Chain A
Amino acid sequence: DQQVKQNSPSLSVQEGRISILNCDYTNSMFDYFLWYKKYPAEGPTFLISISSIKDKNEDGRFTVFLNKSAKHLSLHIVPSQPGDSAVYFCAARGNQAGTALIFGKGTTLSVSS
């Protein structure tokens, strides 16, 4: 059973528009959520995170929204750029030492110019 779900395997967006990537989770013990970006032949790169005590976190063009009651988070990229084309992973963990970082299957974002 998947504890972190990214239901859209792919997303295509035009340059300059907004990209919205979605993620759902089932485990109510998760209290920290992260987004990673992965290019081919590279490891995942940390993008942005949010603690369960917040509902929004912004970093430049990237904003993560958390809806705890719906167990849903989303990553907004505005404006989207061709260099944003990559696989985006949503990840979550609890607050115990040694706890696993649980990843979704990823969403492939393609930004066309």
Chain B
Amino acid sequence: ETGVTQSPTHLIKTRGQQVTLRCSSQSGHNTVSWYQQALGQGPQFIFQYYREEENGRGNFPPRFSGLQFPNYSSELNVNALELDDSALYLCASSWGQLNEQFFGPGTRLTVL
């Protein structure tokens, strides 16, 4: 059974640019959640996708957007990058919206 994978591992962008992060959910999982973890903080919920629809969103601006594909993999897109967007971005998958979430290793984004 393949776990949650994320790509890329690390990424460096400059302010104002756009970035796309990718996540492959664990086999059999239909729900993907994205989190942002700033240094010294716990993960903060960005949004959740269930069967290709966004069904929950945290306190993040619209420039954070996402997609979920028919195979339940997912993308997180961030437009107009700001310095404060520098963080570890975590993807988690689950079977169903309320079940245990399994996390990927994360993508470390640095905005210069």
Residues of A within 8 A of B (CB): 4, 6, 32, 34, 36, 41-46, 49, 89, 91, 93, 95, 97-106
Q: Which residue of B lies closest to A36 (CB)?
A: B103
Please, could you name 19 A-B residue pairs with CB atoms under 8 Å apart, sorted by A? A32-B98, A41-B105, A43-B104, A43-B105, A43-B106, A44-B43, A44-B90, A97-B97, A98-B50, A99-B56, A99-B97, A100-B45, A101-B35, A101-B45, A101-B101, A102-B45, A104-B42, A105-B40, A106-B42
Q: Which residue of B lies closest to A45 (CB)?
A: B103
Residues on B with C-beta less than 8 A from A100 are: 45, 48, 56, 58
* Complex partner residue of B33 from A6, A89, A95, A101, CB under 8 angstroms: A101
Are A97 and B50 within 8 A (Cβ)?
yes
Are B90 and A43 within 8 A (Cβ)?
yes
Interface residues on B, range: 20 to 34
Are B33 and A97 within 8 A (Cβ)?
no
Are B33 and A44 within 8 A (Cβ)?
no
Q: Which residue of B lies closest to A87 (CB)?
A: B42
Q: How far is the CA of A80 from the CA of B2 in the complex (A)?
A: 30
Q: Give residues of chain B (36-68) contacting chain A, Cβ–Cβ below 8 Å.
A: 40-45, 48, 50, 55-56, 58
Q: Which residue of A lies closest to B53 (CB)?
A: A98
Does residue B1 face the partner (Cβ distance < 8 Å to A)?
A: no
Does residue B100 face the partner (Cβ distance < 8 Å to A)?
A: yes
